[in-house]
Amino acid sequence: MKAEIEIECEKPEIVIKALKPDLENLNKFNISLTHEKNKLKIKIEAKDISSLLAGINSYLRLVKVAINTMEV
């Protein structure tokens, strides 16, 4: 199962840098973060729907925190 999410933000490369340590040692899903202009692209791959949803929820929260932190 796969999910792809695009989020508009001013500096997506900073968000990727902030989240890079969290990309290691993932057991239930694989994730990749890339950027293109003002868009952050998140690709998540998992074996089952519950793992996919866990990955989506986790990384959407982390991205939200990273973006909100940049705005402060």
pLDDT tens figures, 15-26: 999 998 888 778
Q: What is the value of pTM for the model shown?
A: 0.86
First-residue to last-residue Cα distance in the chain: 36
**Domain 2-71 class, CATH top level:** alpha beta
State the pLDDT confidence band at 72, using cuts at 50, 70 and 90.
low
Domain edges within the chain:
2-71
Beta-carbon contacts of residue 32 (< 8 Å; ≥ 6 apart): 42, 43
Q: What would the pLDDT profile of 44-56 be if each residue is shown by its tens digit?
A: 999 999 999 999 9
Nearest to 30 by CA among 49, 52, 14: 52
